[in-house]
A and B are shown apart, each in its own frame.
Chain A
């Protein structure tokens, strides 16, 4: 077997030399495997849009990097960790995939991290939110790009407490991500002088939030924090409106709300809500130009997760272009060395715990009267510097940092 492998390896090396392609690129091409939720609860904020975003990054390089073609393969993980792990393992073992991208849903990201660690492949996480990915669950080759629960907590939690919302009740999605988000926000709220009076866990995904909303109403807390995402957040906000919770004086804090959620809810229902975003299309000329192109492809404006996928794939390809190699350790070192500069991040820094540190933005949902054009939903209230949003490296509990 060993002899056979050596023979095969030398044969393919010879073939590469003969064809004149870069011998440093394994398998003659750079292959990126994108795993996302194509049909479930996160398909709007991630899903097909992330594939389009990754394709845009590849097209920016003309489909070729360091003389070798770039291929993108994608699959629907249906938010199931075992399907994701199975697909990733097969891609890595037999499909010659060099890096895994996107990975929305915490359990999926964690399962693929396990595979990436064993196979020594780069995992570019955009959609999954838990801070654990760059703390206890970190791996040397796992990069967490777009946001994390800590950044969301700091942005939204601290500013609401500062405005007087000092008692909180949580509606938490019952899985690792929901718990991580609740824990992070609780810390921020308590540090700012607020109290957490209770929490209710709801199954993921859930469609009927009435009983949870009534529990939250009965708690008497000033703020109801939604430690969930996607359709769960949308359904919870709709339930809150039906029960007249906001009119009765309680405040809803969406801790992980995306542009696609505001689009689904409508400004009438969502107006006035504060949220922390990693990206907003209408922020600078560059973001507007890129987002317009994204819109032409998909018919939607990009969410932070989608822009983050673009940025992570682009940066990965930049590092390969610079080093002429797709060897994991070489590329990783280059990615850390280069600052991340594109439409998503300005002078973003890739830390040794895998965290990509960049500025986040506190935004407020516009009222229907303020909105002047389609997708004109947000007003940026404050720029949260990266260090403040993601915390210093010393705070990370990642053992390999």
Chain B
């Protein structure tokens, strides 16, 4: 009952938010919330630290951009194409990476993402350093003109809610439970008869596809796809968002993404503009030293201890 009320409140807040805050900023926030949540699916619930998620996020942006601009697909199909492309990349990279654990897994994903970055820089369909620009926003279901920021906001909200809903459903499903079992003790899960490689691969592909969904949506919002999103900085940023918000909590990554994106946005035009990375770095250090469970994790612990 209580949680239902909380969800309703959140929904109401999200519905009125674009009248209070600049909608394009909110859409950016939503896209990063979905991206961080997708990343949390394999780090928080699968225990796999990927350093290559930017490849899926940015790669999907390029696929969607190409599909919308060159092929002229409808917006929904374009976004779907981006997410599918990212999932396929996830399948290829995941096949190789899940054979190893810990730091080796992280290094393989980083290496593969760097290779993807190189491909995107050199291939002509991405526009190289220049990126893809002037990507049409199109219409939603052929009815609603997405050129209007407010209409687009509700479209993006629906996509991100679906994406995060899917993650929540996955985590609570038997599949999610097996994933958690693998994270906690791989050998025991194997001895119970689970084919852990397949579980890990499926989780990796799902995470890549959802990260791609976020990247594809961001491309539609900003009407451009650029190298910023496939650069390894982006892979690091999503780790930061997830850890800051709270690893392995459903709301954590979204909160972390919100904090980071808001800070970047408002610090960039103030007197601290040249110091944004330093500020974020200091916050990260404080987070790791003082509240390791992240914002949401600590809040939850606080509530649990007080009542």
Contacts and interface: CB of A to CB of B under 8 A. Distances in A.
Contacts of B133: 81, 107, 110-111, 114
B224 A82 contact: yes
Contacts of B223: 85, 114
B222 A85 contact: yes
A176 B130 contact: yes
A308 to B, nearest CB: 22
Interface stretch (B90-98, B266-274, B290-298): B266-274
Interface residues of B, number: 24
A93 B224 contact: no
B129 A111 contact: no
Nearest to B25: A90
Contacts of A110: 130, 133
B181 to A, nearest CB: 40
Nearest to A39: B274
Given A86-B28, A93-B149, A38 B273 contact: yes
A203 B129 CA distance: 8
A204 B128 CA distance: 10
B269 A93 contact: no
A110 B224 CA distance: 10
Contacts of B226: 80-82, 107
Given A75-B268, A76-B268, A93-B149, A176 B24 contact: no
A176 B132 CA distance: 11
Contacts of A114: 133-134, 223-224
Interface string B231-273: 0000000000000000000000000000000000000110001
Contact of A111 (B28, B147, B224): B224
A89 B24 contact: yes
A80 B130 CA distance: 9
A174 interface: yes
Contacts of B28: 86
A118 B273 CA distance: 28
Contact of A203 (B22, B24, B121, B149): B121
Given A81-B131, A107-B129, A76 B22 contact: no
A174 B274 CA distance: 26
Interface centre among A75, A106, A110, by most chain B C-beta atoms within 10 angstroms, is A110
B127 interface: yes
B173 interface: no
Contacts of A90: 22, 24-25
A94 interface: yes
Contacts of B131: 81-82, 107, 111
A175 interface: yes
Nearest to A114: B134
Nearest to A89: B24
Given A110-B130, A204-B129, A82 B121 contact: no
Given A80-B226, A85-B222, A85-B223, A176 B127 contact: yes
Given A81-B133, A107-B133, A176-B130, 16 more contacts: A38-B274, A80-B226, A81-B131, A82-B222, A85-B222, A86-B28, A86-B222, A90-B22, A107-B129, A111-B133, A114-B223, A118-B147, A173-B129, A174-B121, A176-B127, A203-B129
Interface of B: 22, 24-25, 28, 121, 127-131, 133-134, 147, 149, 222-224, 226, 228-229, 268-269, 273-274
Interface of A: 38-39, 75-76, 80-83, 85-87, 89-90, 93-94, 106-107, 110-111, 114, 118, 173-176, 203-204
The 9 closest A-B pairs by CB, nearest first: A175-B129, A176-B130, A107-B130, A81-B226, A114-B134, A175-B130, A82-B226, A80-B228, A81-B131
